Structure 1
Amino acid sequence: MANRRRFLLAAGAVAVGGAVALRPGDHGGPHGPYFAGLSAALARAGIGVPVMVIDRARMRANAARVVHNINGKLALRLVAKSLPSLPLLDELMQLTHTRRLMVFNLPYLQLLAEQRPDTDLLLGKPMPARAAHTFYAEFKGGEFDPARQLQWLVDTPERLAEYRELARAQRHPLRVNIEIDVGLHRGGVRDDHVLVDMLNMIAAEPLFAFGGLMGYDPHLVKIPDLPGARAGAERDAKAIYARFRDMALRTLKPTSAEALCFNAAGSPTYRMHDGSGAANEVSVGSAMVKPSDFDTPLLDDLQPASFIATPVLKSGSFLLPDGAEAIGRVATAWDVNQRHGYFIYGGYWLADPVSPPGLSASGLYGNSSNQQVLVGSGTQGLKPNDFIFLRPRQSEAVLQQFGELVVVEEGNTLHRWPVMPAMP
């Protein structure tokens, strides 16, 4: 019996020791130098509401890095939906030496045709022919020449026929680009005979001009890295593109293949293209400001350049509402990182806290877009009016939620850049 008691006591001690070892440590702390500097800049500017901050130096460094990686082997097309601000696009177009933009909705198309008439625009998704009809009905003319500077994206013979009827009814020459499926299976032409049918439709219509092909391939970086799986998918995608490009050139016999647009990639995969394949241009957008969804090995050389900054409204010991206090006491006793609560101005964004460290949303309290609570140990040392920084997971849509972009460089807020209205 004595031996049994000693064994049980020893086992109990081991269990207690194991539980203590599993207990979370304090992950908190104050802002580091970088975010302390951003916070001071926003305070000097008198900002007291949530804002989207763009670190201009980091953004410019990202743009320079993308240009360096492409190394003149491919043309670059900037994605407007991921960089939804005319001044932001202007700066990046200047830095990357391109006037090519990819557009995903009718309002942006109309805005860019009017406000940036020297740009070359490629639709990034097929739109109903009714949307194209609206564009021509409301187009006020000017320097922008749709027949030369605009490529409508088509994905099926049926949609191409709709655009043909529009062209004939309105007597508008249309430049069309065909979406091809290189493995993503989200749409686009998959079969050789379908592509040939569409190419023949284009050749037979005097009001059509062939713009090229578009093959989007973000799936290549999301495939599980099993032996050969990712590399095989990349080989297949490039082989499909090469086959379809060759079919287009054989069928239409253009005078200059180099003048056509063979668009590929996106921010996650642009580095998989080096000019040796069928594609002659790549699209890049979000990588320029690098939200967290783009933390991938191929983008390791880029820096986060966009952050949500929001003031703390209330700070104190974290308490769950009446009726749930017992659960709260257990949670805070177990995890020091749930003992302090910071209610912030706004919240529930598609973003995650990054500074000061050790903050997280409370799974017990729930989310709020009015006054989100973030919990921590209290070692963050935040008081009301201090800033908390969150990193967006995406740039599209999230960058547009704050009315303007606050551009910061060298410790100062330099510009307030208006954003384009949020549109699907």
Structure 2
Amino acid sequence: MDKDDIGGTDLAELSAALKKGGLDRPAVVLDLDALDHNIAILKKTADPRLAWRLVAKSLPSEPLIRYLQNALGTRKLMVFSDPMLSQLLSGTPTDVLMGRPMLISSVRRVLGCYPKATHQVQWLVDSFARLEEYRELAAELGTPLRLNLEIDVGLHRGGFAIEDIARLDTAFRNCKELKLAGLMGYEPHLSKLPSVLAAVSEKRFEKTYGAFVRWARSMGGEFCFNTGGSLTFHKYQSGGSINEVSFGSVMVLPTDFKSSASLGFVPAAYVATPILKVLPSNPWPGLDVLSGLRRRTMDVAIQGGYFMGEPIYPCKFGYSGIFGRSSNQEIWSGRSKAGLAPGDIALLRPSQSELVLNSLGSMLAYRRDQGLSEWPVLPH
């Protein structure tokens, strides 16, 4: 079958369209029809009473981000790097929450180039040492910085614990340079633990997040209480501790997030690359004497290789166990396929969207019967 096994893109049709469009390099392809389907699923599965925040590293293209922002009615982004943040700040104003703490030198550089970041960005802080660094920078610049506190809700990748609340209270109430903007408690472990352990961890999450929310609200003001990701966003409802969820990869459904297919999401992003060589009945190196065993098989050499993904077209082809992985003319092996020729386009389904979607230059936006458009990508 020439369709993905969970529905969506007709791979033979996509491959033919890319060849007709003159694709002669490895490229990421975005299927806009599949993306529209995923937007509809997102609207059905995410609580509309919560704020929605797009994870930019998983959707690293300004046209793609704008497309989703317009479709979902949100301006909120989560950003993870200085270069990506700087490019986004130079464009349309938005609401940015940093997804990881930044070194103070990077923060100083960003604020030096984009002073408006003091109002648009919530800087993530995970420790008292970093809190002091941000206080010193705010004093140096003469303007308060909006800080979002990373809290450890059980992932154990750093962040503040319940025992830190009293000290945090003193720090924020006694320092005009620091402004509490919100909390972030990331919890990807909850979707991967066995049910018994997950139940205990969920209680810990609620206890920890709830304690921080009660403290934050005692400070007065409006806050961002963020959690979730592409595997957990749909589990949250308004009325609890959190008031916004983040998601990104689920919109294009790479293989690492395939469990979300159960909600109705379909793959919407592919890596495409030309086939350079078609090698029917190709002997194994050094084992020509066994060439008869290869009569019904075929190897193809693709342009480039070592892509982070799973071969899906031509159908029933996969990485060669004999030749191994390669970043140059990688060999895929499969059953003989009539009509396959150099210049045809091979397709892979990415294992993740971050570091993949912006690794091959401008991505190609594809809509059936409307041709291809180039969408520039954001820096890592």
TM-score (norm. length: structure 1):
0.83
Inter-CA distance 299–204: structure 2 relative to 1 (3 Å threshold): farther
Q: Identify the residue that residue 153 of structure 1 maps to in structure 2.
A: 124
Query: Using the alignment, how far apart are the partners of 2:100 and 2:293 within structure 1?
Result: 47
Q: 1:415 aligns with which of 367, 373, 377?
A: 373
Equivalence map 1:290-309=2 (5 Å): 290-297=253-260, 300-309=263-272
- In structure 2, the residue matched to 1:320 is 284
Structure 2 CA distance, aligned partners of 1:277 and 1:331? 63
Note if 1:172 corresponds to 2:143: yes
Instruction: Give 1:170-249 correspondences, 5 Å limit.
Output: 170-190=141-161, 192-225=162-195, 228-249=196-217
Letter in 2 for 1:114: S
The aligned counterpart of 1:162 is 133
Larger mean Cα displacement after TM superposition, 193-202 or 309-318? 193-202
**The 10-residue stretch of structure 1 (76-85 or 311-320) with the greater mean CA deviation from structure 2:** 311-320
Taking the aligned partners of 2:100 and 2:338, their CA distance within structure 1 comes to: 45
What's the counterpart of residue 9 of structure 1? none
Tell whether the 8 Å contact from 2:270 to 2:348 is kept in structure 1 after alignment.
Answer: yes
Distance 2:264 2:270 in 1: 18
SS at match of 1:293: helix
- Kindly tell me the number of residue pairs found equivalent between the two proteins: 375
Show CA shifts across 1:63-95 (max 9, x none).
222122223121000011111111111101101
Q: Does 1:120 align with 2:83?
A: no
Q: Is the 8 A contact 1:266 1:284 kept in 2?
A: yes
In structure 2, the residue matched to 1:286 is: 249
After superposition, the Cα gap between the structure-2 partners of 1:224 and 1:298, relative to the gap in structure 1 and judged at 3 Å, is farther
Q: Which residue of 2 aligns with 1:385?
A: 343
- Sequence identity (%): 39
Contact kept in structure 1, 2:47 and 2:234, CA below 8 Å:
no
The alpha carbon displacement at 1:224 in A equals 3.0
Is contact 2:47-2:236 (8 Å) kept? no
Deviations 1:144-190 (A, max 9, x none): x3333210000011100010011111212100000001111111112
Q: Which residue of 117, 135, 151 corresponds with 2:110?
A: 135
Tell me by how many angstroms 1:343 deviates: 0.4
Contact 2:111-2:118 within 8 A present in 1 as well: no
Change (3 A) 1:96 1:331: farther
Larger radius of gyration: 1
Residue 314 of structure 1 and its aligned partner are, at CA, apart by 0.7
Distance in 1 between residues matched to 2:139 and 2:262, nearest whole Å: 45
Q: Distance in 2 between matches of 1:30 and 1:381?
A: 14
Instruction: Work out the CA distance in 1 between the residues paired with 2:294 and 2:202.
Output: 48
The 8 Å contact of residues 82 and 285 in structure 1, kept in 2 or not, is answered as yes
SS at match of 1:214: strand
Secondary structure of the structure 1 residue equivalent to 2:181: strand
Partner deviation per Cα, 1:292-335 (whole Å, 9 max, x = no partner): 110115753111000111111111223332x3546x759758xx
Q: 1:209 to 1:353 in 2, by over 3 A?
A: same
Give, in whole Å, the separation in 1 of the partners of 2:21 and 2:74.
Answer: 33
Partner of 2:312: 354
Residue 134 of structure 1 and its aligned partner are, at CA, apart by 1.1
1:356 to partner: Cα distance: 2.5
- Which of 73, 80, 88 is residue 97 of structure 1 equivalent to? 73
Cα separation, partners in 2 of 1:312 and 1:172, compared to 1, 3 Å: same
Question: Match of 1:349, SS?
Answer: coil
**Residue of structure 2 aligned with 1:371, choices 316, 329, 352:** 329
Q: Distance in 2 between matches of 1:30 and 1:147?
A: 50
Structure 2 counterpart SS, 1:415:
strand
Q: Which amino acid aligns with 2:369?
A: G
Matching residue's letter, 1:230? A
Amino acid at match of 2:275: V
CA contact (8 A) 1:342 1:375 kept: yes
Query: Is the 1:37–1:411 contact (alpha carbons within 8 Å) kept by the matching residues of 2?
Result: no
CA-to-partner distance for each residue in 1:120-163, whole Å, 9 max, x for gaps?
A: 01100011112111112222x5xxx3333210000011100010
Q: 2:273 aligns with which of 310, 320, 329?
A: 310
Select 2:52's aligned residue among 76, 94, 100.
76
Shift of 1:245: 1.1
CA distance in 2 between counterparts of 1:31 and 1:288 reads: 19
Q: CA deviation at 1:380?
A: 6.4
Q: Aligned pair in 2 of structure 1 residues 125, 377: CA closer, same or farther (>3 Å)?
A: same
- Cα 1:273/1:299, change in 2 over 3 Å: farther
1:406 to 356, 364, 375: 364
Counterpart secondary structure, 2:352:
coil
Distance 1:298 1:56, change over 3 A: closer
Q: Distance in 2 between matches of 1:130 and 1:302?
A: 40
Structure 1 pair 382/131, CA: closer, same or farther in 2 (3 Å)? same
Q: Aligned partner of 2:282: which letter?
A: F
Unmatched segments (≥5 aa) in structure 2: none
State the alpha-carbon separation in 2 of the partners of residues 124 and 63 from structure 1: 23
